[in-house]
Amino acid sequence: LRESTPVRFDEDRESWDVFRYEDVHRILKDPATFSSRRGLEVRGETLLTMDQPKHTHMRNLVNKAFTPKAINDLAPRITSITHDLLDQVLSKGQMDIVHDLATPLPVIVIAELLGVPSKDRKLFKDWSDTLVKGVEGNSQEAFAKMVAERDVAVRELSEYFRAILAERRSKPEDDLVSALLEAEIDGEKLEEDEILQFCILLLVAGNETTTNLITNAIRLMTEQPAIQEQVRTHPELVKTTVEETLRYYPPIVAIGRVATEDVEIGGQQIQKGQQVVSWVGSANRDPDKFEDPDTFLPDRKPNAHMGFGFGIHFCLGAPLARLEGQIALEILLSKLGDMQFTKSKLSPIPSPFVFGVKSYPIT
Protein backbone atom coordinates (compact mmCIF):
# COMPACT_ATOMS: atom_id res chain seq x y z
CA LEU A 1 0.00 0.00 0.00
CA ARG A 2 2.83 2.38 0.87
CA GLU A 3 4.19 1.95 -2.64
CA SER A 4 1.03 1.57 -4.71
CA THR A 5 -1.36 3.94 -2.88
CA PRO A 6 0.66 5.96 -0.36
CA VAL A 7 -2.34 8.21 0.31
CA ARG A 8 -5.78 6.68 -0.27
CA PHE A 9 -9.40 7.25 0.70
CA ASP A 10 -11.12 4.38 2.52
CA GLU A 11 -14.77 4.50 1.44
CA ASP A 12 -15.97 2.27 4.31
CA ARG A 13 -14.37 4.23 7.11
CA GLU A 14 -14.74 7.51 5.22
CA SER A 15 -11.22 8.53 6.09
CA TRP A 16 -7.86 9.01 4.43
CA ASP A 17 -5.00 6.58 5.05
CA VAL A 18 -1.44 7.86 4.88
CA PHE A 19 1.41 5.34 4.74
CA ARG A 20 4.72 7.04 3.87
CA TYR A 21 7.13 8.29 6.55
CA GLU A 22 7.51 11.69 4.95
CA ASP A 23 3.75 12.28 4.72
CA VAL A 24 2.99 11.04 8.25
CA HIS A 25 5.78 13.24 9.59
CA ARG A 26 4.37 16.26 7.76
CA ILE A 27 0.88 15.65 9.18
CA LEU A 28 2.02 15.27 12.78
CA LYS A 29 4.27 18.33 12.43
CA ASP A 30 1.40 20.56 11.36
CA PRO A 31 -1.28 20.61 14.09
CA ALA A 32 -2.84 23.77 12.64
CA THR A 33 -3.86 21.93 9.46
CA PHE A 34 -4.33 18.51 11.08
CA SER A 35 -6.31 18.91 14.27
CA SER A 36 -6.46 16.45 17.17
CA ARG A 37 -10.08 17.37 17.91
CA ARG A 38 -11.43 14.23 16.38
CA GLY A 39 -14.98 14.54 17.61
CA LEU A 40 -14.37 11.61 19.94
CA GLU A 41 -14.22 13.67 23.11
CA VAL A 42 -17.12 11.85 24.75
CA ARG A 43 -15.86 12.45 28.24
CA GLY A 44 -14.56 15.96 27.77
CA GLU A 45 -11.40 17.29 26.30
CA THR A 46 -7.98 15.93 27.25
CA LEU A 47 -4.44 16.92 26.37
CA LEU A 48 -4.52 14.32 23.61
CA THR A 49 -7.52 15.92 21.87
CA MET A 50 -6.68 19.61 22.40
CA ASP A 51 -5.30 21.99 19.80
CA GLN A 52 -3.05 25.01 20.30
CA PRO A 53 -2.97 27.35 22.17
CA LYS A 54 -4.90 25.45 24.87
CA HIS A 55 -2.73 22.37 24.37
CA THR A 56 0.51 24.34 24.86
CA HIS A 57 -0.74 25.86 28.10
CA MET A 58 -1.94 22.54 29.54
CA ARG A 59 1.14 20.62 28.37
CA ASN A 60 3.49 23.18 29.95
CA LEU A 61 1.64 22.85 33.24
CA VAL A 62 1.66 19.04 33.36
CA ASN A 63 5.31 19.03 32.21
CA LYS A 64 6.14 20.76 35.47
CA ALA A 65 4.94 17.70 37.35
CA PHE A 66 5.87 14.98 34.85
CA THR A 67 9.58 15.79 34.75
CA PRO A 68 12.38 13.49 33.54
CA LYS A 69 13.80 13.58 37.07
CA ALA A 70 10.48 12.50 38.62
CA ILE A 71 10.45 9.60 36.15
CA ASN A 72 14.10 8.61 36.61
CA ASP A 73 13.63 8.54 40.37
CA LEU A 74 11.18 5.68 39.78
CA ALA A 75 13.87 3.30 38.45
CA PRO A 76 14.57 1.52 41.78
CA ARG A 77 10.82 1.00 42.39
CA ILE A 78 10.23 -0.30 38.85
CA THR A 79 13.13 -2.72 39.36
CA SER A 80 11.81 -4.00 42.66
CA ILE A 81 8.19 -4.35 41.40
CA THR A 82 9.48 -6.31 38.38
CA HIS A 83 11.48 -8.67 40.64
CA ASP A 84 8.46 -9.16 42.95
CA LEU A 85 6.15 -9.97 40.04
CA LEU A 86 8.62 -12.45 38.57
CA ASP A 87 9.33 -14.09 41.93
CA GLN A 88 5.63 -14.94 42.18
CA VAL A 89 5.68 -16.99 38.97
CA LEU A 90 9.19 -18.15 38.19
CA SER A 91 9.04 -21.26 40.37
CA LYS A 92 6.25 -22.56 38.08
CA GLY A 93 8.71 -22.88 35.19
CA GLN A 94 6.47 -20.93 32.85
CA MET A 95 4.71 -17.60 32.78
CA ASP A 96 2.40 -15.46 30.69
CA ILE A 97 4.27 -12.27 29.88
CA VAL A 98 1.03 -10.32 29.42
CA HIS A 99 -0.76 -11.41 32.60
CA ASP A 100 2.13 -11.93 34.96
CA LEU A 101 4.34 -8.95 34.18
CA ALA A 102 3.45 -6.62 31.31
CA THR A 103 -0.07 -5.83 32.55
CA PRO A 104 0.48 -5.40 36.29
CA LEU A 105 3.81 -3.51 36.05
CA PRO A 106 2.56 -0.27 34.41
CA VAL A 107 -0.62 -0.24 36.51
CA ILE A 108 1.32 -0.52 39.77
CA VAL A 109 3.85 2.10 38.66
CA ILE A 110 1.22 4.64 37.63
CA ALA A 111 -0.79 3.96 40.79
CA GLU A 112 2.28 4.69 42.91
CA LEU A 113 3.16 7.75 40.84
CA LEU A 114 -0.32 9.12 41.41
CA GLY A 115 -0.20 8.30 45.11
CA VAL A 116 -2.87 5.58 45.15
CA PRO A 117 -2.36 3.54 48.35
CA SER A 118 -1.60 -0.16 47.82
CA LYS A 119 -4.84 -1.25 49.52
CA ASP A 120 -6.77 0.35 46.62
CA ARG A 121 -4.61 -1.21 43.91
CA LYS A 122 -7.17 -3.86 42.92
CA LEU A 123 -9.95 -1.29 42.61
CA PHE A 124 -7.68 0.89 40.57
CA LYS A 125 -6.72 -1.93 38.24
CA ASP A 126 -10.37 -2.83 37.60
CA TRP A 127 -11.18 0.75 36.64
CA SER A 128 -8.11 0.94 34.46
CA ASP A 129 -9.05 -2.34 32.69
CA THR A 130 -12.59 -1.11 32.05
CA LEU A 131 -11.27 2.08 30.47
CA VAL A 132 -9.21 0.29 27.82
CA LYS A 133 -11.47 -2.71 27.30
CA GLY A 134 -12.67 -2.94 23.70
CA VAL A 135 -16.12 -3.93 22.48
CA GLU A 136 -16.99 -7.61 22.83
CA GLY A 137 -18.69 -8.48 19.56
CA ASN A 138 -19.83 -5.93 17.01
CA SER A 139 -23.46 -5.34 17.89
CA GLN A 140 -25.00 -1.98 18.83
CA GLU A 141 -25.81 -3.43 22.28
CA ALA A 142 -22.21 -4.49 22.89
CA PHE A 143 -21.02 -0.99 22.00
CA ALA A 144 -23.62 0.65 24.25
CA LYS A 145 -22.61 -1.71 27.08
CA MET A 146 -18.96 -0.76 26.73
CA VAL A 147 -19.74 2.98 26.74
CA ALA A 148 -21.97 2.58 29.82
CA GLU A 149 -19.28 0.59 31.69
CA ARG A 150 -16.66 3.17 30.84
CA ASP A 151 -18.89 5.97 32.05
CA VAL A 152 -19.34 4.23 35.40
CA ALA A 153 -15.56 3.66 35.69
CA VAL A 154 -14.83 7.31 34.86
CA ARG A 155 -17.39 8.51 37.42
CA GLU A 156 -16.03 6.24 40.14
CA LEU A 157 -12.42 7.10 39.33
CA SER A 158 -13.23 10.82 39.35
CA GLU A 159 -14.83 10.54 42.79
CA TYR A 160 -11.87 8.53 44.01
CA PHE A 161 -9.32 11.06 42.72
CA ARG A 162 -11.39 13.97 44.02
CA ALA A 163 -10.91 12.56 47.53
CA ILE A 164 -7.16 12.11 46.96
CA LEU A 165 -6.95 15.68 45.63
CA ALA A 166 -8.68 17.03 48.74
CA GLU A 167 -6.22 15.14 50.95
CA ARG A 168 -3.17 16.36 49.02
CA ARG A 169 -4.46 19.93 48.98
CA SER A 170 -4.41 20.00 52.75
CA LYS A 171 -1.29 17.84 53.11
CA PRO A 172 0.97 17.72 50.00
CA GLU A 173 3.08 14.62 49.51
CA ASP A 174 5.87 13.65 47.16
CA ASP A 175 3.59 12.42 44.37
CA LEU A 176 2.30 13.47 40.96
CA VAL A 177 -1.10 14.65 42.23
CA SER A 178 0.55 17.05 44.72
CA ALA A 179 2.89 18.29 41.96
CA LEU A 180 -0.07 18.84 39.60
CA LEU A 181 -1.88 20.83 42.30
CA GLU A 182 1.18 23.03 42.73
CA ALA A 183 2.11 23.51 39.05
CA GLU A 184 1.73 27.16 38.12
CA ILE A 185 2.55 29.31 35.09
CA ASP A 186 2.11 33.10 35.24
CA GLY A 187 -0.14 32.71 38.27
CA GLU A 188 -2.37 30.18 36.53
CA LYS A 189 -2.94 26.73 37.94
CA LEU A 190 -4.75 23.64 36.71
CA GLU A 191 -8.42 23.40 37.61
CA GLU A 192 -9.55 20.43 39.67
CA ASP A 193 -11.46 18.93 36.73
CA GLU A 194 -8.41 19.30 34.49
CA ILE A 195 -6.30 17.35 36.98
CA LEU A 196 -8.95 14.63 37.17
CA GLN A 197 -9.15 14.34 33.40
CA PHE A 198 -5.39 14.20 33.20
CA CYS A 199 -5.08 11.43 35.80
CA ILE A 200 -7.62 9.36 33.87
CA LEU A 201 -5.82 10.06 30.59
CA LEU A 202 -2.61 8.67 32.09
CA LEU A 203 -4.38 5.37 32.71
CA VAL A 204 -5.92 5.21 29.26
CA ALA A 205 -2.80 6.33 27.37
CA GLY A 206 -0.14 4.64 29.43
CA ASN A 207 -1.14 1.19 30.60
CA GLU A 208 -2.10 -0.95 27.64
CA THR A 209 0.55 0.69 25.46
CA THR A 210 3.36 -0.14 27.89
CA THR A 211 1.97 -3.67 28.33
CA ASN A 212 2.22 -4.11 24.56
CA LEU A 213 5.72 -2.64 24.37
CA ILE A 214 7.04 -5.17 26.90
CA THR A 215 5.15 -8.06 25.32
CA ASN A 216 6.15 -7.11 21.77
CA ALA A 217 9.82 -6.97 22.82
CA ILE A 218 9.62 -10.48 24.30
CA ARG A 219 7.66 -11.71 21.29
CA LEU A 220 10.46 -10.51 19.04
CA MET A 221 13.06 -12.20 21.28
CA THR A 222 11.25 -15.54 20.95
CA GLU A 223 10.68 -15.16 17.21
CA GLN A 224 14.34 -14.33 16.63
CA PRO A 225 16.35 -16.30 19.22
CA ALA A 226 19.67 -15.07 17.81
CA ILE A 227 18.68 -11.54 18.81
CA GLN A 228 17.64 -12.75 22.26
CA GLU A 229 21.10 -14.27 22.67
CA GLN A 230 22.83 -11.17 21.31
CA VAL A 231 21.03 -8.82 23.73
CA ARG A 232 21.46 -11.21 26.67
CA THR A 233 25.21 -11.27 26.16
CA HIS A 234 25.30 -7.51 25.45
CA PRO A 235 22.94 -5.88 27.98
CA GLU A 236 24.17 -2.47 26.81
CA LEU A 237 21.94 -3.08 23.76
CA VAL A 238 18.74 -3.11 25.82
CA LYS A 239 18.10 0.63 25.30
CA THR A 240 18.37 0.51 21.51
CA THR A 241 16.48 -2.80 21.44
CA VAL A 242 13.50 -1.10 23.12
CA GLU A 243 13.66 1.70 20.52
CA GLU A 244 13.85 -0.84 17.71
CA THR A 245 10.79 -2.63 19.16
CA LEU A 246 8.92 0.69 19.05
CA ARG A 247 9.83 0.95 15.37
CA TYR A 248 9.38 -2.67 14.32
CA TYR A 249 6.37 -3.66 16.47
CA PRO A 250 4.87 -0.30 17.60
CA PRO A 251 2.10 -0.67 20.23
CA ILE A 252 0.17 2.16 18.52
CA VAL A 253 0.15 1.67 14.76
CA ALA A 254 -2.06 4.59 13.70
CA ILE A 255 -2.78 8.15 14.80
CA GLY A 256 -5.92 10.07 13.83
CA ARG A 257 -6.33 13.74 12.85
CA VAL A 258 -8.93 15.92 11.10
CA ALA A 259 -8.09 18.37 8.30
CA THR A 260 -8.93 21.96 9.27
CA GLU A 261 -8.67 23.17 5.66
CA ASP A 262 -8.39 21.76 2.14
CA VAL A 263 -4.87 20.39 1.77
CA GLU A 264 -2.83 18.29 -0.62
CA ILE A 265 -0.84 15.28 0.58
CA GLY A 266 1.05 12.91 -1.71
CA GLY A 267 -0.81 14.22 -4.75
CA GLN A 268 -4.25 13.68 -3.16
CA GLN A 269 -6.67 16.46 -2.31
CA ILE A 270 -7.95 16.18 1.26
CA GLN A 271 -10.98 18.31 2.12
CA LYS A 272 -11.60 20.35 5.23
CA GLY A 273 -13.31 18.24 7.93
CA GLN A 274 -12.12 14.87 6.60
CA GLN A 275 -10.50 12.31 8.89
CA VAL A 276 -6.87 11.40 8.24
CA VAL A 277 -5.25 8.27 9.66
CA SER A 278 -1.44 8.32 9.83
CA TRP A 279 -0.14 4.74 9.74
CA VAL A 280 2.91 4.88 11.99
CA GLY A 281 3.36 1.12 11.64
CA SER A 282 3.91 1.59 7.91
CA ALA A 283 5.97 4.79 8.18
CA ASN A 284 8.30 3.00 10.60
CA ARG A 285 9.10 0.46 7.86
CA ASP A 286 9.51 2.98 5.03
CA PRO A 287 12.68 2.09 3.04
CA ASP A 288 13.09 5.76 2.09
CA LYS A 289 13.74 6.48 5.77
CA PHE A 290 15.16 3.26 7.24
CA GLU A 291 17.84 1.09 5.76
CA ASP A 292 16.76 -2.53 5.57
CA PRO A 293 13.46 -1.63 7.30
CA ASP A 294 12.14 -5.19 7.73
CA THR A 295 15.21 -6.31 9.63
CA PHE A 296 15.22 -5.92 13.41
CA LEU A 297 18.56 -4.39 14.36
CA PRO A 298 19.01 -4.26 18.14
CA ASP A 299 21.70 -1.61 17.71
CA ARG A 300 19.97 0.50 15.03
CA LYS A 301 21.18 4.09 15.14
CA PRO A 302 19.84 6.62 14.37
CA ASN A 303 16.29 5.42 14.84
CA ALA A 304 13.80 8.20 14.19
CA HIS A 305 10.75 5.95 14.58
CA MET A 306 7.37 7.53 15.30
CA GLY A 307 6.17 4.92 17.81
CA PHE A 308 5.54 7.73 20.30
CA GLY A 309 4.11 10.05 17.65
CA PHE A 310 5.79 13.30 16.68
CA GLY A 311 5.38 17.04 17.23
CA ILE A 312 3.36 18.79 19.92
CA HIS A 313 1.50 15.63 20.99
CA PHE A 314 4.67 13.52 21.22
CA CYS A 315 3.99 11.00 23.98
CA LEU A 316 4.30 12.63 27.38
CA GLY A 317 4.87 9.24 28.98
CA ALA A 318 7.71 8.22 26.63
CA PRO A 319 10.46 8.46 29.31
CA LEU A 320 8.37 6.32 31.66
CA ALA A 321 7.46 3.74 29.02
CA ARG A 322 11.10 3.50 27.91
CA LEU A 323 12.30 3.05 31.48
CA GLU A 324 9.73 0.33 32.23
CA GLY A 325 10.51 -1.40 28.93
CA GLN A 326 14.24 -1.32 29.54
CA ILE A 327 14.06 -2.52 33.14
CA ALA A 328 11.58 -5.32 32.32
CA LEU A 329 13.65 -6.55 29.39
CA GLU A 330 16.94 -6.38 31.27
CA ILE A 331 15.58 -8.36 34.23
CA LEU A 332 13.78 -10.94 32.07
CA LEU A 333 16.93 -11.58 30.05
CA SER A 334 19.06 -11.93 33.15
CA LYS A 335 16.64 -14.05 35.22
CA LEU A 336 15.23 -16.35 32.58
CA GLY A 337 17.12 -18.76 30.39
CA ASP A 338 16.31 -19.09 26.72
CA MET A 339 12.71 -17.75 26.44
CA GLN A 340 10.37 -19.67 24.15
CA PHE A 341 6.75 -19.10 23.16
CA THR A 342 4.75 -22.16 24.18
CA LYS A 343 1.77 -21.85 21.82
CA SER A 344 1.63 -22.13 18.06
CA LYS A 345 -1.04 -19.43 17.58
CA LEU A 346 -1.06 -15.77 18.58
CA SER A 347 -4.11 -14.07 20.14
CA PRO A 348 -4.07 -10.55 18.62
CA ILE A 349 -5.85 -7.66 20.33
CA PRO A 350 -8.87 -6.96 18.08
CA SER A 351 -8.16 -3.31 17.28
CA PRO A 352 -6.86 -1.88 14.00
CA PHE A 353 -4.88 0.80 15.87
CA VAL A 354 -3.19 -1.32 18.53
CA PHE A 355 -0.49 -3.90 17.90
CA GLY A 356 -0.31 -6.47 20.65
CA VAL A 357 -1.53 -9.84 21.88
CA LYS A 358 -3.92 -10.77 24.70
CA SER A 359 -1.69 -13.49 26.08
CA TYR A 360 1.91 -14.62 25.57
CA PRO A 361 2.91 -17.74 27.49
CA ILE A 362 6.62 -18.55 27.60
CA THR A 363 8.86 -21.11 29.24
Binding site for ligand HEM (CB under 6 A): 36, 47-48, 59, 110, 201-202, 205-206, 209-210, 213, 251-252, 255, 307-309, 313, 315-317, 320-321
Q: How far is the CB of 308 from ligand HEM (least distance, A)?
A: 5
Which lies closer to ligand HEM via its Cβ, residue 27 or residue 339? 27
Q: How far is the CB of 361 from ligand HEM (least distance, A)?
A: 22
Q: Which of 303, 345, 326 lies closest to 214, judged by CA?
A: 326
Which lies closer to ligand HEM via its Cβ, residue 39 or residue 137? 39
Q: How far is the CB of 36 from ligand HEM (least distance, A)?
A: 6
Q: How far is the CB of 211 from ligand HEM (least distance, A)?
A: 8
Q: How far is the CB of 132 from ligand HEM (least distance, A)?
A: 12
Which lies closer to ligand HEM via its Cβ, residue 201 or residue 276? 201
Measure the CA–CA gap between 214 and 98, rounded to whole angstroms.
8
Q: How far is the CB of 291 from ligand HEM (least distance, A)?
A: 23
> What are the residues facing 185 on neighbouring strands?
188
Q: How far is the CB of 60 from ligand HEM (least distance, A)?
A: 10
Which lies closer to ligand HEM via its Cβ, residue 263 or residue 269? 263
Which lies closer to ligand HEM via its Cβ, residue 32 or residue 226? 32
Measure the CA–CA gap between 97 and 94, rounded to whole angstroms.
9
Which lies closer to ligand HEM via its Cβ, residue 222 or residue 245? 245
> What are the residues facing 275 on neighbouring strands?
15, 258
Which lies closer to ligand HEM via its Cβ, residue 130 or residue 209? 209
Return the C-alpha torsion angle 168, 169, 174, 180, nearest 10.
Answer: 110
Which lies closer to ligand HEM via its Cβ, residue 316 or residue 357? 316
Residue of minimal CB distance from ligand HEM? 317
> What are the residues facing 354 on neighbouring strands?
252
* Reduced 3-state DSSP string for the chain: CCCCCCEEEECCCCEEEECCHHHHHHHHHCCCCEECCCCCCCCCCCHHHCCCCHHHHHHHHHHHHCCHHHHHCCHHHHHHHHHHHHHHHHHHCCEEHHHHHHCHHHHHHHHHHHCCCHHHHHHHHHHHHHHHCCCCCCCHHHHHHHHHHHHHHHHHHHHHHHHHHHHHHHCCCCCHHHHHHHCEECCEECCHHHHHHHHHHHHHHHHHHHHHHHHHHHHHHHHCHHHHHHHHHCHHHHHHHHHHHHHHCCCECEEEEEECCCEEECCEEECCCCEEEEEHHHHCCCCCCCCCCCCCCCCCCCCCCCCCCCHHHCCCCHHHHHHHHHHHHHHHHHHCCCCCECCCCCCECCCCCECCECCCEEC
Which lies closer to ligand HEM via its Cβ, residue 321 or residue 331? 321
Q: How far is the CB of 93 from ligand HEM (least distance, A)?
A: 29
